[in-house]
Structure formats: structure tokens, C-alpha cells
Copies of this chain bind each other. A is one copy, B any other.
Amino acid sequence: MHGHTDSRATLPEAALRDLGSQAFQGLGLTPADADEVVNLLVTADLFGLSTHGMSRIESYGERLEVAGIAARPAIKIERVASALVKVDGGNGVGPLVGMKGLKAAMEVAGECGIGMALVRGSNHFGPISPYCHIAAEAGFASMIGSNATTTIAPWGGSDARLGNSPLGFGVPGHDGAHFMLDMAMSVVARAKIRNALKAGAPIPDTWATDKQGRKTTDPAAALDGFLLPIGGHKGYGLALVVDLFAGLLSDAAYLTHVKSWVDAPDEPQNLGHFFILIDTRRLGSAKWLADRMKDFAAILHGCPAAEEGKPVIVPGEIELSNMARQREQGLTIDASVLSLLKHHAAKLAA
């Protein structure tokens, strides 16, 4: 993980976009492709998801430099039925391939009411909520998932055989207040366990197992073991579902066939994604939907809080509020990320 002890730099969104585009061009991408990747990652930073934003220049850059990711991929799009599209990302940068998948699914969904893109030959594609946001802005509800390197043991097992696969959903809200849920299947991220280890504190036994697959409160044993999925067998099942739709049905790698970008940065991962888009305009008027979404949020906000001063929130609100604030005040990123962007951008000028 990247630089949480770093100093931080603040710059306007447009400046970060420009620099980011030059950096990815410096790494060999075309200007249009670089802009596409940067749009996704900057949106992640705007949402406050800095671990999945421009900081990814580190791992993406490393793999682009050793040709573990193709800078100029031959992306193939095949419409196998009127509402169903298969995409082969040609081992391109994840957010570039992901955006091709999203756009292809939106296009057929616009025609058919619902549309799906199944993507293979891809890499880490960023967080999911920026895709849901782009879809929601265009009037589409979305269900999006990706598989991932194996870090989780099957329920009752003691070997990492499935990924902590992210799954996301979006529904267009009233006045831009889109519902967005973006979640992985583990109870917590590994970073939380690392923090406990640093603090010398035990962890709840619901977070992870040791390497024998036994529950543990020892953060060191947990880091040597496996993350536990939410709801035990339920989260295990959901992680399998994401891998089935994103990996198995898309003809990508799945389960232990997914290569680790840490252990083998120079090899294609063949990650898979799925994008299901629903054109909400076919279901009712914009006012009909906005009224219902407003009422939906009001019912949740109107719920008395269990703890004073901690009101109920609707998924997506934190991200949208972070975006509004950072658009006004500038984007804060790690100084080391800024240096790395400048380093790669300098190659373009050279």
C-alpha cells in the first residue's frame, strides 16, 4: 500500500488531470487513453478513495514499464446478442478496459433497456463507484463487479482460493444524489489489520483466520492467514458470484487462475469484469424516479440515530460530499504520488 505517512499536496482538479494524463502518456498510452484512465482515477480521488485513485500510478506504472500491462492494447468488442457484449481488453490498463466495457454496456442498454458487457484480458480497474457515477449521470442503474487476486479462503477452507472481489451498484438519484454502493467481500481491509499490528492491539476474531483457517485475534497471525468474508458463508458465496460473472462467464481467469500482480508483475493477470446497465428512462419519467429516490433517502434520513450525532446515511453520500468539497478546495494527494506523476510525465517531454 502507498505512503500513508507521506506529506500531502493539494492541487486543483484540472491540474491533477493534466499531470496525470501526461504521466500515463509518458508510460506509453495515447492521449485519449491516458485521459480515460485519469478520469476514472481522479474521480476516485475526488470521492476520497485515495488508495484506489492516482496513487495507483505506482503499481500500474511498474507493470507498464516491464510490459506486464500493455500500453497500447488491441481491445476487441464483440456484440454476441443485441444486449450482450464481450470485451477482450488485450491486457490494457484496467480503467481503460473498464471504461470500454462500461460504454459498450451503456450503448446496448440504451437500445435494449438492459445491457451487459463481460470483460476479459483486463487488470485492476480502480474502484467501482466512479463507473456507477458515470452511469447514473447518464440515467443508468448499474451492477458492476470484478474478480481479483486470491486472498480469501473458501468458507471452511484453509488456503487462499478466491479474491476479495469488489461489487458495486448505482441508481440515479434526485439532483445528482446518486445511490452508490461499492464494497469488497471481506469484513475489513488488510490495512486495518496492519494498523492493529502497529498499535500492538488484538483484532476481533471475526476479521481474519490464521493460515490454518482458524479464527484469530492476533494481527500477525491474521496477516499470515486469510481475510474473512462478511456473513461467513454468505460473503463466501457472494465472492464466488462475482468471480463467476466477472471471471468465469467472461472467459477471463477465475479463482486460483488469476495471477498476482505482486508476485508476477510482468505477466498478464487476465482479470475479468462485468457491467450490467439498466436504462431507467424506460421505466418511468425522470420526475417519477427523482420523486421516488428523494422519498427513499428521506425515509432513511428520518430514522432516529442509535447514537446521537451519528445520523443514518445513504450509500454514496460520503463520496459525493467529498467530491463537492475537493472540487471547491482542491484535491489532496500524497506528495510521493505527485513526485511519481511528475517522474513519468517528464518522460513525455524527453
Contacts and interface: CB of A to CB of B under 8 A. Distances in A.
Interface of A: 80-84, 86, 111-116, 118, 141, 143, 153-159, 161, 169, 171, 179, 181, 183, 187, 206, 209, 212-214, 230-231, 233-235, 237-238, 240-241, 244-245, 248-251, 254-256, 276, 278-280, 282-284, 289, 292-293, 296, 299-300, 303-307, 310-315
A249 B153 contact: no
Most chain B CB neighbours (cut-off 10 Å) among A143, A153, A155: A155
Given A159-B303, A280-B249, A183 B237 contact: yes
B114 A240 contact: no
A112 B84 contact: yes
Assembly of this chain: how many copies? 2
A292 B251 CA distance: 9
Interface-central residue, A212, A244, A254, by most chain B CB under 10 Å: A244
Given A83-B113, A153-B303, A255-B299, 4 more contacts: A80-B113, A86-B283, A161-B300, A212-B306
B303 A84 contact: no
Contacts of A235: 230-231
Contact of A179 (B114, B115, B240): B240
Given A183-B237, A241-B169, A81 B231 contact: no
B213 A282 contact: no
Contacts of A238: 181, 183
Contact of A249 (B111, B141, B213, B233): B141
A267 B29 CA distance: 61
Contacts of A118: 283
A301 B233 CA distance: 15
B82 A113 contact: yes
B112 A157 contact: no
